[in-house]
Structure 1
Amino acid sequence: MPLYRFAGRMPVVSERSYVSEAAVLIGDIRIGDDCYIGPGAILRGDHGTIEVGLGTAVEEGVIVHAFSGSVCRIGKSVTVGHGAVVHAENIEDYAVIGMGAILSLHVKIGFWTIVAEGCVVKNRQIVPGGVVVAGNPAKIVRDVEDKDRKFWLWGKQLYVDLAHQYLREGMELVEKDCGMPKS
C-alpha cells in the first residue's frame, strides 16, 4: 500500500481496511476500520489532516485534499463516488457524494445527505442533513426518502464486504495476453 510521509506526517490505516496499491496516501491521514480506498484515489494530508470514518468507501479516482491547517472529516459509512473532488471541511455520517461531484473548500455536508452526480457544492456552502442536492451550484431538490436509505445501506455494505474480500484474497496480476488464444 503506497503510504508517503511528508513534513513528518504519515498516514495511519486500520488493518481492517483496504487501500489499493494504485491509491496514493500522503501525510496526515487516518483511515478507520472497514474502509475501502479504491484504485486511483489520492488523499493528500500534506497541509492539513484527513480523517476517514468506519465503513467509508472512497471509490476510484477520488481526490481528497485538506485545506492548509484544517481537518477534512469524512464520517462513518460515507460513500464518495468515482471521480469526486473533496476539499470539504466535514461530511457527516451516511452521506453519499455522487460520481464526479465537487465539494469546494470549507463545505459541510449533513447527516444522510445525498450530493448528486456532477453536483458542485460552492466554497463554504453548508448542506443540511437528510436532503438531496443537485446542480451547479448545489440546490436542494428533495428530502432523502426511506427507499434512498435502504438502497445506500445496501451499497455501503457492498463496499465493506469488498474491502474484506480484497484483504482476504488479494489480487493477482494477469499476464498481458490474459490467457486468450494466440492467432
Structure 2
Amino acid sequence: MSDRKLTEDKFDNRLTKFAPFISPNPVTSFNPVQRYPKIDKTSFISPFSSVIGDVRIKDNVYVAPNAAIRADEGTPFYIDSNTNLQDGVILHGLLKQFVTVKDKAYSIYIGNNVSVGHDALIHGPCYLGNHTFIGFKAIVYNAIIGKGSFVSYNAVITNGVRIAPNRFVPPGADIDTQEKADRLRRVTEEEREFAREVQRVNQEFPASYKALLRYSANEKQNANILN
C-alpha cells in the first residue's frame, strides 16, 4: 500500500472518530427543557469542537477545532453570519444573566463578520457587535463591545463596561471600569485592515473544509470500489 493511501486512510478515520459533539443541553433543575443547536447548513463545525444547547449559528460561520460553545447554563447563544471562532475559543454564560438585542434576551450575542482569536474566552452575559475583532487569549465577560472595535491579545474586559464602536483595546489591558473604557482611542485604518484580512481568510474556510470532507469521503468510496 502506498504512503499516500496510508495517509488518506488515517485522515479519513480520524475525521470519523473525532466528529464534533453537537448536542442538546442536559436536563437540570435550572434548565429543565432540552434545546438543540440550530446550525445553518453553510457553516462548518470542526472536529474536536462542541456545540451544546440553545445555540443559533447563522450562515457561513467557521468554528475551528477545540472550540467549546456550551449553552448548558446561561442560554441562549446567537452567532451571526460570516463569524469565525478560532481554535480553543470558549463560549459559556452565567445562569439568568442576559444582554438584550431587539427586545430579546441572550446570554451571548455575537454579530456578523466577527473574529474571535485563538484561546479567547467569551463569557455571558456579553455582546460582540458586528465587525469586532477579539485577539488571542482575550477575555470578554459581562461586557458590551461596540461595532468595529478591536480587542488585542491578552486583554480583559469585564464588570459591565460598554466599549463604544470602533475603539481599540491595547494588548494586555484590563478594562474593568467605564472610565477606562471611555478613554480608549479609535481604531486606526491599519488595525481595521488587519481585522478585514482575518475575516477574508476565515470566510473561505466553511466551504473549503466541506469540500475537503467530501473529497475524503469520495476517495474512500472509490478505494472500496477498486478493492
Q: Same fold (TM over 0.5)?
A: yes
Please report how far the alpha carbon of residue 123 of structure 1 lies from its aligned counterpart in structure 2 after TM superposition: 2.2
The answer for the alignment partner of 2:135 in structure 1 is 98
Count of residues in Structure 1 that have an aligned counterpart in Structure 2: 172
Say what the alpha-carbon RMSD is for the aligned residues.
Answer: 1.8
- Partners of 1:97 and 1:73 lie apart in 2 by 14
Q: Once the two structures are aligned, what percentage of the paired residues are identical?
A: 26
Please report how far the alpha carbon of residue 108 of structure 1 lies from its aligned counterpart in structure 2 after TM superposition: 0.3
1:66-90 deviation per Cα after TM superposition (whole angstroms, max 9, x unaligned): 2223310000000000000111421
- Partners of 1:99 and 1:108 lie apart in 2 by 18
1:14-60 deviation per Cα after TM superposition (whole angstroms, max 9, x unaligned): 11001012101111111110111011100111121111010000000
**Partner-residue secondary structure (3-state), 1:149:** helix
Please report how far the alpha carbon of residue 141 of structure 1 lies from its aligned counterpart in structure 2 after TM superposition: 4.9
- Partners of 2:145 and 2:42 lie apart in 1 by 26
Gaps in structure 2 of 5+ consecutive residues? 1-19, 28-33, 99-105, 217-227
Question: Of 62, 65, 69, which aligns to 2:89?
Answer: 62
Residue type matched to 2:139 in 1?
I
**Partner-residue secondary structure (3-state), 1:163:** helix
127-136 or 16-25, which deviates more: 127-136
Which of the two has greater strand per residue? 1
Which of the two has greater helix per residue? 2
Matched, 1:74 2:114: no
Please report how far the alpha carbon of residue 152 of structure 1 lies from its aligned counterpart in structure 2 after TM superposition: 1.6
**Partner-residue secondary structure (3-state), 2:78:** strand
1:79-136 deviation per Cα after TM superposition (whole angstroms, max 9, x unaligned): 00000011142100000000000112x2100000011100011221111111111234
Please report how far the alpha carbon of residue 162 of structure 1 lies from its aligned counterpart in structure 2 after TM superposition: 1.4
Question: Whose radius of gyration is greater, 1 or 2?
Answer: 2
What's the TM-score once normalised by structure 1's chain length? 0.87
Question: Of 14, 20, 30, which aligns to 2:56?
Answer: 30
Residue type matched to 2:21 in 1?
P
The answer for the alignment partner of 2:164 in structure 1 is 128
The answer for the alignment partner of 2:72 in structure 1 is 46
